[in-house]
Every structure is written in structure tokens, then in C-alpha cells.
Amino acid sequence: MSATTILMLSVDEAHLLERSLPAAAAQPAVDVVVIDNACTDRTATLCEQHGARRIALRERRSYAAAMNAGLAATGGPAVLLLNADCVLDGGFLAAAHPRLGEPGVGSVAPLLLRATGMEPADRLDVVDAAGMTLDRRRKNSLVGHGEPRAQHARAGEVFGGDGACVLYRRETLNAIAVGAEVFDEDMALWASDADVAWRARNAGWRSVFEPAAVAWHVRFYSPGNRPLLAPEHRRLQFRNRLLMIAKNETGRGFARDAPFILGYEILALGHALLRERTLLPGYTEALALLPAARSRRNAHPPSASWWQLRLLLP
């Protein structure tokens, strides 16, 4: 097995790394790298204890900017993007890595199982994510979230992998980078993983789900607790979906699914006007960022067959 980079991000998350970092370091043939996002906790100490390389950022950056810094500072043919709140099973990479050798496969989505905490006793036999999907409204969501593990025991093709834990071929990430950016730094956080997955699809790369690659994830956000998010985070979600469509949608795809896309947008506008007016600035923010989004799109125009993508849309 070629050396795999495991890239983890800590935002004062030493309490999570205490469990997730040893599990990452125990994987075979890995280079574990922790992006220390201006941490003031024990992140540096834990990196030293577990032999992980540390990339120290002096100032706090967004998720996208911090991950880009980590990607730019690492090499290797494969990279596992791993959240600090995600604990790998001992056989994770042995199951996931071979799938990258299949023709056209640019990423592998593992079977993420839900956990209520970082200890083994906190693990549930319930799916957190069996990959990511994009529906005909162009709304991204998690495959199998909340369903029994037994319902997701078969490998198959998916739209992409959830950013909490996804294995990428480095060649794929290089192919979609715009300058030094793999993750769109205008998006900052929400939907940035779906945007990367869509751009990889548009560049002709496939994504596969591998249920034998297992990890446990303590999810901060899920569709069920959206009302608990701060208004600025909900607005960022709202805005980023519009930017993602502007960057990745094809004319043929829009023509086919326009009733679904426009129908959803009308409902979203109504919801914002009547129930959640804090979302409305998301429109003006998206408009201000549209020229940069179009510039990124022009750097890598979508070239994948819409027919292939359509087969994956619910």
C-alpha cells in the first residue's frame, strides 16, 4: 500500500484528538498531519505524543482556507480528509485504499456510523452517512442518515463522500484546484465538501461507497438540529448552495431539471420571506460573490457526461 496522507484539522479540539488521532496513527503506511488552526489547547502536545506532523497556522482561518493550507503542505498519492470528531476502525484504510486503484475512481466514501461521544461505549449501529447525494433540486444530503447499518452493507457508486471522512486520490484534488485552492475559500465551510465532490464529478471522476471502511462520527450538525445553528451559519448554508449551483450546473442539466430547481428556489424564497428573514442577506452575498464563482468555473468548465450524473440523482 502506498503511503496515505491523513489530514486532520484541530480548532481547539484536543479533547477529540485524544481518541481520533491514535486511531489514525494506527493505520498502516500513513503520514498523519494535523492542521493546528491557531489552537491554544493541547493539540501540539498530542501531535508530538502520537508522531503526527503539525502544520501550525498563526491566525484562525476558515475550514476551507485551513484545509487548503494543509493540502498545499503535504504530498502523497492519496489523502484522507478526516475530522477530529471521527474515529477510524482499525481496518479502515485496508478496505478503502484499494478502491482508488479502480478505473476513474477519484474518491472513496466510507461507512460512517453515528456516535454520541468519542468512547467505544458511545458508538451506535446506526448510519451517519453512507456517502453524499445531490437531488434534482440540487440539494445535497447524506445517504442513509439515521438508518440501520444493515441497510447499507453493499458497495456502490455515490455522488461523493461527506467531508467528515473521505479518501481522495491526490490527482483528483489537483485536477480541480484553482491556483492554490482545492476548497473554495469564499464558501468558508458549509457545502464546501459537496462543491468539491461536484467539481470532481464534472471533471470526470467517479466516487464509490465502501461499507467495509468504517468510522464513527460525532456529528455537530444534522438536518434534525438545523434550528439550533446560529443564524449566520444558516445564512451561509443558504448562500453557498446558490454559489455551488452557479459554479457546477450545466446548461443541459438545468434544462432537464429546471422545474425541480426553480420550484425549490420559489419555496426557499417564500420560507425566507415569511419565516426566516435572516436568510435574505444570503442572496446579496451570493450575488457579490458570483463573479469569483464564475471565474472558478471558467478555470475548470464542467466536462462530465450529464447522463452519468443523472443516474445518481434521486
- Three-state SS sequence of 32-60: EEEEEECCCCCHHHHHHHCCCEEEEECCC
Across the chain, the runs of DSSP E, i.e. the strands, are 4-10, 30-37, 53-57, 78-83, 86-88, 105-115, 123-129, 132-134, 140-142, 156-158, 165-169, 206-217
**Cell 458511545 -> residue:** 122
What is the DSSP pairing of strand 53-57 with strand 140-142? unpaired
Give me the tens of pLDDT residue by residue for the chain, a chain 314 residues long: 468 999 999 999 999 999 999 999 999 999 999 999 999 999 999 999 999 999 999 999 999 999 999 999 999 899 999 999 999 999 999 999 999 999 999 999 999 999 999 999 999 999 999 999 999 999 999 999 999 999 999 999 999 999 999 999 999 999 999 999 999 999 988 899 999 999 999 999 999 999 999 999 998 766 666 667 788 889 999 999 999 999 999 888 888 899 999 999 999 999 999 999 999 999 999 999 999 999 999 998 876 555 455 555 55
260 with 289, same domain: the answer is yes
Distance from first CA to last CA of the chain, Å, rounded? 35
Of 43, 32, 112, which Cα lies nearest the Cα of 80?
32
pLDDT at 26: 97
Instruction: Examine the domain organization and report whether 239 and 201 are in the same domain.
Output: no
Phi, psi of 47 (to 5 degrees): -60, -45
pTM to 2 decimal places: 0.93
Of the CA atoms within 13 Å of residue 206, those in its CB half-sphere come to 14
pLDDT at 307 (0 to 100): 47
The region that residue 179 occupies, defined by phi over 0 for left and psi between -120 and 50 for alpha, beta otherwise, is left
Residue 170: per-residue pLDDT: 96
Q: Which range marks the domain in which residue 305 is found?
A: 229-310
Report which residue type is found at 140.
Answer: N
Whether residue 211 is found in the same domain as residue 298 = no
Q: What is the pLDDT of residue 2?
A: 60
CA gap 217, 107 in Å, rounded: 19
Residues 213 and 247 in one domain: no
Looking at the fold, whether 58 and 120 belong to one and the same domain comes out as yes
Q: Is residue 248 domain-shared with residue 185, that is, in the same domain?
A: no
Q: Do 39 and 110 fall within a single domain?
A: yes
- The amino acid that residue 311 corresponds to is L
On whether both 248 and 299 belong to a single domain, the answer is yes
**End position of a domain, from candidates 223, 250, 283:** 223
Q: Give pLDDT, residue 304.
A: 57
Q: Are residues 184 and 61 in the same domain?
A: yes
Residue 170 CB neighbour total at 10 angstroms: 18
Length of the chain: 314
According to the model, what pLDDT value does residue 255 have?
87
User: Are 34 and 54 spatial neighbours (Cβ–Cβ below 8 Å)?
Assistant: yes
Interacting residues of 31 by C-beta distance below 8 A, sequence separation 6+ = 3, 4, 5, 6, 53, 74, 76
d(CA 83, CA 24): 11
Looking at 206, 223, 240, the residue that finishes a domain is: 223
> What's the pLDDT tens digit per position in 40-51?
999 999 999 999
Which one, of 23, 22, 20, 25, lies nearest residue 10 by Cα?
20
